[in-house]
Chain A
Amino acid sequence: QKEVEQDPGPLSVPEGAIVSLNCTYSNSAFQYFMWYRQYSRKGPELLMYTYSSGNKEDGRFTAQVDKSSKYISLFIRDSQPSDSATYLCAMGARGYSTLTFGKGTMLLVSP
Chain B
Amino acid sequence: DTAVSQTPKYLVTQMGNDKSIKCEQNLGHDTMYWYKQDSKKFLKIMFSYNNKELIINETVPNRFSPKSPDKAHLNLHINSLELGDSAVYFCASSRRTTGDSQDTQYFGPGTRLTVL
Chain A residues engaging chain B, CB cutoff 8 angstroms: 8, 31-32, 34, 36, 38, 41-46, 49, 51, 86, 88, 92-99, 101, 103-104, 106
Contact = CB atoms under 8 A, between A and B. Distances in A.
Interface residues of B, number: 29
Nearest to A100: B45
Contacts of B92: 43
A43 B55 contact: no
Contacts of A92: 99, 103
Interface of B: 4, 31, 33, 40-45, 48, 50, 55-56, 90, 92, 97-101, 103-110, 112
Nearest to B48: A97
18 contacts: A8-B40, A32-B100, A34-B104, A38-B41, A43-B109, A46-B105, A49-B101, A86-B41, A92-B103, A95-B99, A96-B99, A97-B48, A97-B55, A97-B56, A99-B45, A101-B43, A103-B40, A106-B41
Contact of A46 (B50, B56, B106): B106
